[in-house]
Chains A and B, each alone.
Chain A
Amino acid sequence: MKKFLKYFTVLFFALAVLSSCNKDDDEPDPFPSNLVKGAYIINYGNYGDGGASISKYDYGTDALTNFYYQQQNPGLELLSNIQYAYEYDDQIFMMGNNPDQIITVDPLFEQTKNGVTDQITKPRACVASGDYLYVSCWGEPDAGWSIMPNSYIAKYNIKTQTVEETISLPGGPEGVEIANGKLYAALNYKDSVAVIDLDDQAISYIVTPAVSSYFLKDNSGNLYVSLVNTYSSPSEDTGLGYINTSTDELTTVYSLPNVSYEYASIMVTDVDQSKIYVITSETDENWNVTGAVSVFDVATKTFESEKLVSGLSGPRGVAVNPNDGNIYVFTGESVTGAGLMKIYDPSGELIDQKTVGASPNMAIFLD
């Protein structure tokens, strides 16, 4: 009997463990792919007057849902202008301006917690590392919006949803990227890229020929940085800079006139990182403004002479669908009217065009 009880006990625990394992395996996925998969277009809206929205495009079924956030959160609307969005660890972090906040939603874009406003002033972009999100913030601008003396990096704890500390970084940090244990911040009001050592927060600068806006990291962990001409910091030396993150040097500048000074997604790599698509906008001799998508060949380190797409009106962002390599270009002429999402194949042929929300900035692809 004792032996029986012993075997019975072992068997009981074994069954319990196995059944609990089964139970876990049967737990439904809270974010099933059939509900989540798609391109999520971030529509900035009208500066200071709301109007931001999310458009969901299910490229599998060709179904587009505008005002998706409102659909997923009945009774709520995005009150802030969404400057940038970032997906990390089954969460999407949206940088909201006016009012300034970090809004966190799940992959279904359902928001269950309030946005974080404390120590967040004019958030621009972000990048994650471990439990932290590094958020570039402009802070209180100077009177002329010309030097951004109060800008900083907010170190945001994703778990506690608090800003643990801020790192002062004058010059208007915009795009941020992490490489070799260092945080790189593209300064939009100073001809430099800031490099912040994440261990001791020491800041050094890489001088650039123009102000910068965003980064792309290549397979070797080095960075391409967009060099742009802005109203407050005019420069003719626009293009792509290449930063060696081991030496923290700007090794080369690949010149490209009229790189767009829009925000959020003016450049993107293709699926295998062999090409970089860059948005440009130029005014011709007849004062007509047209936009285009230029192609940088990573292997030859040159811009292709032919634009991938030209004749764009009001280009604001570009994205690449990681599933099929198609290029999504976002245009928006009006801050109170619809924007467009134009889908091109890698040869530059227009495949489709969809009407999205006001001032589409960028897209994130979820699976």
Chain B
Amino acid sequence: MRRFILSGLLVLLFGGLDAQQPSVADTILLHEVTSYAPYKKYQAGAKMESISAEQMQFAQAGGLDNLLMRFTPIYVKSNAGGLSTIRLRGTSPNHTSVNFGGINVNSLTLGHSNMASVPSYLFDGLDLQYGSSSAVNGSGSIGGAIYLGLQNNWTDGLKLKTTITQGSFGEQLYGAKIFAGNGKFESVTRLFYFSKRNDFPFENPYTGDVENRDPVKDRQKGAAVENRGLIQELNYRFEPDEFITSAIWLEQDWHEVQPNMPTNLNLKTLEELDNQHVRIWSEYQNNKRSLNYRAGVGYVHDVQVYDSITEQRIGTDRLISELELKQDFNPGLGYKAGVKYRYIVPDVYAYSEEVIDSEQHLDAYFSAFFTAWQRLKLTLNLRQSFVTNFSVPFTPSLGAEYRLFTNETSILKLSSAIAKSFRVPTFNDRYWGTQGNPNLKAEDGMSYEAGLSYIYCDAGFQSELKLNAFYMDVKNWIEWRNFGVWQARNLMEVVSKGIELQSNTDWQLGATDLNFKLNYNFNPVEAVENISETGITHRQLIYVPKHMGNAFLMATRKQWQIYIDGTYTGSRFSDDFGHELDSYFLTNCGLLRSINYNSQQFKLSFSVQNLFDVDYQNQRYYAMPGRSFRISISSNLNIL
């Protein structure tokens, strides 16, 4: 059987260029089948990664921040549960798009998503794209993109998956996924409730006590989290190549605004933030003829209310529609072209209706792939966005992959990509009160990437090693500054460069299967130009570590799984004066036991987070939890 699987993998591997597969080896990632193939098909040379199902499961309590910090070399600036913002390849949180169907769920007012409020539990998979992809994903994808995946299983019967998790500091997760269908019609309901008191103990050195300067034992206050959400999918398959899929995602995320350590000691007031989202995406696909087409419509409603002050609501409504045509002339040549339209109505107390009542965005895009000599694959992406009263640069990207070497067990591949990218300033940047700046230009990036990947497969050992180097130059980088009044301006030109090493290895030792993953990032990122009078140039940007890495080892033997993972986060500047936050290394581990009872599956797990009780700060002055424990019971029931 193993040989059969291995042969199958290699067939896919070698046949990747000939068959209608997206690319050499892209359909293979050891220990899992990747879901990013549709994105990769038109983006040769782009670095992509899928988070494995196991890793998704280990970090399903909480938001994407846990997942990203533990299993990827991506830095997320966060406190202990409230606000987490991603820094992909040293870029700002606004430079990573978070995609759900045809929707970029990033806030149009703030420009980014709170990673702590995107629940891991609801999704079947998570794909990451490192580097610019604006030509494919539109505005904002300068540093990278996240794709939230829902898998269409076309269920025939009734299945129920449940999870109950209890953890330290009042953490609890209740989740259920109900799959019902007849093979043609499918309903998938996913719902979860997550809450955490977050009242963890810590040593507080910031007492302000000049008479006794010893740290005191303190307990975090005002950092509770309560999130709940639901995704309802309704899918119908007319024929194998013709179907309609719909997903409604309702989400409410509430959290207290964690006070820093000096304030926590004598906390007088609590602050809270409430976010509500409605996201709907429905899509029709027809792949029956050589000319395929896809049409989607969506609606997004976002509202944020601070401290229950409803008259100061910050919200937007948007309607989205997309039409895409796709044609593969042969396995080595194809294209797709489409248009995407968005109609956006902001509902923000601080905007003047005389200045902004609605905005329209229209994107036209074209993508193509071409393979030659069974070794070379080229892709081209072109995008032009049009925004009401705003000028957006034309955005092309070009990618290439070349298979340098293959034999029966291994393959060596070279890849390269050049991509232009952009970000339209947020609504707040342009319209907030009298401080918005309608004269802002779009942020404008160029990114260059080269990669080398090596895959080795034999009967008992499979490994993939990737080495990527990138250089990214982002002009007109926007930041808010106090110029007398607070205002957003195109302040900086930022250069981010780096080397990323990634490995994923499976091997078998007797009856034990081992999986080992290793990531390391070296990412110098600095402003090379700064128009601010006291702006710093040629120094690492604040809250971007130069070094990050993590390792993950899992052993599976019969019904047992045991894992350990560790993340190293290098030191980071917390301000322009050179104050640095210390580097830290966090270790987590866990044990899982699968139980089959009456053909039904159950899983028990126990895990320890921050095993060595490391005292660290991710954001200056903010306490983080020490060692914590979590137990979980999951079931996977085939009811009909």
Residues of A within 8 A of B (CB): 46, 48-51, 66-67, 73, 75-76, 79-80, 98-101, 111-115, 117, 121, 140, 143-144, 231, 260, 281-283, 286-287, 289-291, 312-316, 331-340, 355, 357-359
Contact = CB atoms under 8 A, between A and B. Distances in A.
Given A48-B260, A114-B208, A340-B534, A144 B484 contact: no
Given A50-B620, A112-B210, A314-B483, 19 more contacts: A49-B620, A66-B577, A67-B577, A79-B206, A79-B208, A114-B209, A121-B268, A140-B269, A287-B438, A287-B439, A291-B483, A291-B484, A333-B534, A337-B532, A337-B534, A338-B534, A339-B534, A340-B534, A358-B576
B189 to A, nearest CB: 37
Given A114-B210, A337-B576, A99 B262 contact: yes
Interface in B437-493: 437-439, 481-485, 487
A314 B484 contact: yes
A79 B265 CA distance: 12
Interface string B282-300: 0000000000000000000
Contacts of A358: 575-577
B274 to A, nearest CB: 13
Contacts of B154: none
B407 interface: no
Interface stretch (B19-27, B107-115, B306-314, B599-607): B306-314
A314 B311 contact: no
A283 B521 CA distance: 43
A67 B578 CA distance: 12
5 contacts: A50-B262, A98-B262, A112-B210, A312-B484, A333-B533
B629 interface: no
> Is the contact region of chain A dominated by helix, strand, or loop, or is it mixed?
loop
Contacts of B260: 48-50, 98
B598 interface: no
A334 B484 contact: no
Interface of B: 206, 208-211, 213, 260, 262-263, 265-266, 268-269, 307-309, 311-312, 433-434, 437-439, 481-485, 487, 532-536, 542, 574-577, 620-621
Contacts of A291: 483-484
Given A112-B210, A117-B266, A338 B483 contact: no
A75 B438 contact: no
A144 B312 CA distance: 8
Contacts of B211: 112-114
Contacts of A286: 439
Nearest 7 CB-CB pairs, A to B? A281-B484, A337-B576, A79-B262, A289-B483, A333-B481, A291-B484, A336-B575
B359 to A, nearest CB: 18
Q: State the majority secondary structure of interface residues on B.
A: loop
A99 B265 contact: yes
A215 B577 CA distance: 34
B215 to A, nearest CB: 12
A336 B485 contact: no
A273 to B, nearest CB: 27
A286 B482 CA distance: 17
Nearest to B533: A313
Contacts of A331: 533
Given A51-B575, A143-B307, A337-B534, A315 B484 contact: yes
Contacts of B481: 314, 333-334
Contact of A290 (B263, B309, B439, B483): B483
Nearest to A315: B484
A283 B535 contact: no
Contacts of B210: 73, 76, 111-114
Contact of B485 (A101, A140, A289, A337): A289
A79 B204 CA distance: 12
A316 B307 CA distance: 28
Given A49-B621, A355-B534, A282 B484 contact: yes
Counting chain A CB atoms within 10 Å of each CB, the highest count among B534, B574, B620 belongs to B534
A75 B213 contact: yes
A331 B482 CA distance: 9
Contacts of A283: 434, 485
A103 to B, nearest CB: 8
Contacts of B532: 313, 333-334, 337
Nearest to A336: B575
Contacts of A333: 481-483, 532-535
B576 A144 contact: no
Contacts of B487: 287, 289
Contacts of A289: 483-485, 487
A98 B542 CA distance: 22
Nearest to A112: B210
Contacts of B311: 144
A314 B482 contact: yes
A138 to B, nearest CB: 11
Most buried by A among B269, B487, B575: B575
Contact of B268 (A50, A100, A355): A100
A98 B258 CA distance: 13
A359 B534 CA distance: 11
Nearest to A353: B533
A140 B268 CA distance: 9
A312 B74 CA distance: 39
Contact of B208 (A99, A332, A334, A337): A99
Nearest to A111: B210
A51 B437 CA distance: 27
B484 A290 contact: yes
Nearest to A334: B481
Given A99-B266, A287-B438, A340-B533, A115 B482 contact: no
B216 to A, nearest CB: 13
Contacts of B312: 144
Contacts of A281: 483-485
Nearest to B212: A114
Contacts of A314: 481-484, 533
Contacts of B620: 49-50
Contacts of A76: 210, 213
Nearest to A338: B534
A316 B308 CA distance: 31
A80 B262 contact: yes
B578 to A, nearest CB: 11
Nearest to A97: B263
A116 to B, nearest CB: 11
B621 A334 contact: no
Nearest to A289: B483
A66 B269 CA distance: 32
Contacts of A121: 268
Contacts of A287: 437-439, 487
A7 B268 CA distance: 69
Contacts of B535: 333-334, 337
A287 B429 CA distance: 12
A23 to B, nearest CB: 31
A251 to B, nearest CB: 30
B484 A101 contact: no
Nearest to B434: A283
B208 A115 contact: yes
B309 A143 contact: yes
Nearest to B206: A79
B262 A332 contact: no
B575 A313 contact: no
Given A98-B262, A114-B211, A332 B482 contact: yes
Contacts of A312: 484
B183 to A, nearest CB: 53
B354 to A, nearest CB: 15
A281 B208 CA distance: 36
B304 to A, nearest CB: 15
Nearest to A261: B485
